[in-house]
């Protein structure tokens, strides 16, 4: 479906149907302002647990809370009408048991109106994916570099650079697809591994630091806009320096206030 001809919100089945037909475009959002801007430009918006880092300035995604994801996702859904909205399930909200996962995922869908959830899922969690899908919850499975596994992985490092680790990621992908995941998000995965997973998968793959062969690409919007900080991941392409624009505007505002140039009479009432 052409994005320019869309009049209703993109659905999960429509995203799936885009595989091998048209590249899928995604960006992240956690606020109304950004969501409104990107809504007509992307196929799906990811409300990522990366919000913990770009929105709250925390060192990792591990501290993101379920209530925070629900609040941000509701803001994105309420501010958009065209893009499919997918919510990241935070660390600790689905790993304990299938029942815990269903309870929390169902709460996210019911309270936000989003279309699907994303889980960081290796082979051990494929059973949870199957449990959720069987009960009506669409799941995007995230494999490769999984930020919620940062302490196990020893940092934010590219994955699949050896034959052994590449094979393990391929098995994670295969297990989650067999469990019913409608899509795979491949993060920080060796290009050849991501390319082969995409070729082997009947469902769309979304790359972030993976391969141009993936069926779609996602980036953190703050990184695209130059708001992501000084150290940018290798896989990021910065398209603008919005930070410079914001700094300039705020500097001029501060200067006007300090020198009595703002507010002027036209900014006041009852004169």
Cite the active site residues.
Answer: 187
Which residues, 6 or more positions from 255, have their beta carbon under 8 angstroms from its beta carbon? 261
Q: Does residue 43 have a known ligand-binding role?
A: no
| Alpha carbons 271 and 185: distance in angstroms, whole number | 58
Q: What does 213-243 look like in DSSP terms, one character per residue?
A: TSSEEEE-HHHHTT-S-S---TT------HH
Q: What does 47-112 look like in DSSP terms, one character per residue?
A: E-TTHHHHTT--SSSTT--HHHHHHHHHHHHHT-SSSEEEEEPPTTSSSS-HHHHHHHHHHHHHHH
Instruction: Supply φ then ψ for residue 46, to 5 degrees.
Output: -100, 120
Q: Does residue 241 have a known ligand-binding role?
A: no
Q: What does 120-161 look like in DSSP terms, one character per residue?
A: E--GGGHHHHHHHHHTT--EEEEEES-GGGHHHHTSS--B--
| Alpha carbons 246 and 141: distance in angstroms, whole number | 36
Q: Does residue 118 have a known ligand-binding role?
A: yes
Q: Does residue 191 have a known ligand-binding role?
A: no
Structure tokens at 242: 């919005």
| Alpha carbons 248 and 223: distance in angstroms, whole number | 19
| Alpha carbons 228 and 54: distance in angstroms, whole number | 7
Which residues, 6 or more positions from 138, have their beta carbon under 8 angstroms from its beta carbon? 12, 115, 116, 117, 182
Residue 266 belongs to what H/E stretch? Answer: none
Q: Is 260 left (phi over 0), alpha (psi -120 to 50) or beta?
A: left
Q: Does residue 68 have a known ligand-binding role?
A: no
Binding residues: 49-50, 88, 118, 120
Which residues are annotated as part of the binding site for 3-methyl-2-oxobutanoate?
Answer: 49-50, 88, 118
Task: Summarize the annotated binding site for Mg(2+) as residue ranges.
Answer: 49, 88, 120
């Amino acid at each position: 479906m052409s994005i320019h001809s869309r009049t209703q919100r993109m659905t999960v089945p429509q995203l799936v149907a885009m595989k091998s037909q048209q590249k899928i475009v995604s960006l992240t959002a956690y606020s109304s302002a950004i969501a409104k801007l990107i809504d007509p430009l992307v196929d799906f918006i990811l409300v990522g647990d990366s919000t913990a880092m770009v929105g709250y300035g925390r060192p990792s995604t591990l501290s993101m809370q379920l209530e925070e994801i629900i609040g941000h996702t509701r803001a994105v859904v309420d501010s958009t009408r065209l893009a499919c909205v997918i919510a990241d399930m935070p660390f600790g909200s689905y790993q304990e048991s299938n029942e815990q996962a269903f309870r929390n995922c169902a709460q996210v869908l019911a309270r936000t109106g989003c279309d699907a959830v994303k889980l960081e899922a290796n082979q051990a969690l494929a059973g949870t994916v199957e449990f959720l899908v069987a009960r009506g919850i669409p799941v995007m499975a995230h494999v490769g570099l999984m930020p919620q596994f940062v302490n196990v992985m020893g940092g934010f490092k590219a994955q699949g650079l050896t034959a052994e680790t590449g094979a393990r990621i391929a098995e994670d992908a295969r297990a989650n697809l067999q469990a019913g995941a409608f899509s795979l998000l491949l993060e920080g995965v060796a290009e050849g591994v991501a390319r082969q997973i995409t070729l082997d998968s009947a469902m769309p793959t979304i790359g972030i630091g993976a391969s141009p062969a993936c069926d779609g690409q996602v980036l953190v919007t703050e990184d695209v806009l130059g708001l992501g900080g000084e150290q940018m991941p290798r896989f990021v392409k910065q398209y603008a320096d919005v930070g410079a624009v914001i700094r300039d505007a705020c500097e001029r505002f501060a200067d006007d206030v300090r020198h009595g140039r703002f507010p002027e009479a036209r900014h006041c009432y009852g004169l």
